[in-house]
Amino acid sequence: MKNENVIEVKELSKIFGDFTAVNKISFNVRQGEIFGFLGANGAGKTTAMKMLIGISTPSHGEASVAGFDVYSQAELIKNNIGYMSQKFALYNDLTVKENISFFGGIYGLSRKEIKSKTKQLIDELNLGEVANQLVGSLPLGWKQKISFSVALLHNPKVIFLDEPTGGVDPITRRQFWEMIYKTANEGTTIFVTTHYMDEAEYCDRVSIMVDGKIEALDTPKNLKEQFGVEDMNNVFLKLARG
């Protein structure tokens, strides 16, 4: 079912008083797709994402995520997606293992499932040596990789990544993206915001928001052709500068 839409958005808007932060955006994201959600600071990305993950009610328009409606099924959306940002990460004062158990419990996994997932995750991420260390003592790149895996513990159909690699070194970012590819190949949809234009190149399709509107949406290759430039950085600069 690779052609199934996991996210459907139609004319979605969010208005704060007399300010329109998100202005009638429309797009669909397919199963297993890596969808990059770009825009300058203040363009409206976070506001749009909050509506999609069920924590902010839209002012107008329609949207569904993982088959659930953002107005009437926000709780179901929260239970059926993964979410990771730099701001909401793991608990620094719990060990790696304790974090996995804690979040596994929150996601409703059984003890048996938590045990097998913990082993799997520790093996896959090569965390054997640090499994009993406090997360607070680990480098940021490690925390982000663990945090990504934890957000996938309950096998969500879609994972939302809000600037997941902010402040992380280039090698770790590359490794992080390898994890993203693997996850997408296994059929999970990836919705990712980033300010790194090299990361935009890794996405299947990229949307670029300017002042609340989606001004461009296509594959990186087509966007570069459309704007007659060599890289995504220049696509972004052309759009953001008008």
Q: Which residues are at the interface with ligand ATP (CB under 6 A)?
A: 16, 19, 21, 39, 41-47
Q: How near is the Cβ of 109 to ligand ATP at its closest, in Å?
A: 31
Q: How near is the Cβ of 93 to ligand ATP at its closest, in Å?
A: 27
Structure tokens, 43: 């363009």
Q: How near is the Cβ of 26 to ligand ATP at its closest, in Å?
A: 17
Closer by beta carbon to ligand ATP, 19 or else 221: 19
Q: How near is the Cβ of 62 to ligand ATP at its closest, in Å?
A: 19
Answer yes or no: are the C-beta atoms of 34 and 184 closer than 8 Å.
yes
Answer yes or no: are the C-beta atoms of 229 and 59 closer than 8 Å.
no
| Cα-Cα end-to-end distance for the chain | 38
Q: Element (H or E) spanning 10, and its range?
A: strand 5-16
Burial 30-46 (b: 16+ CB within 10 A, else e): bbbbbbbbbbbeebbbb
Closer by beta carbon to ligand ATP, 35 or else 103: 35
Closer by beta carbon to ligand ATP, 15 or else 131: 15
Structure tokens, 241: 């500068």
Closer by beta carbon to ligand ATP, 47 or else 118: 47
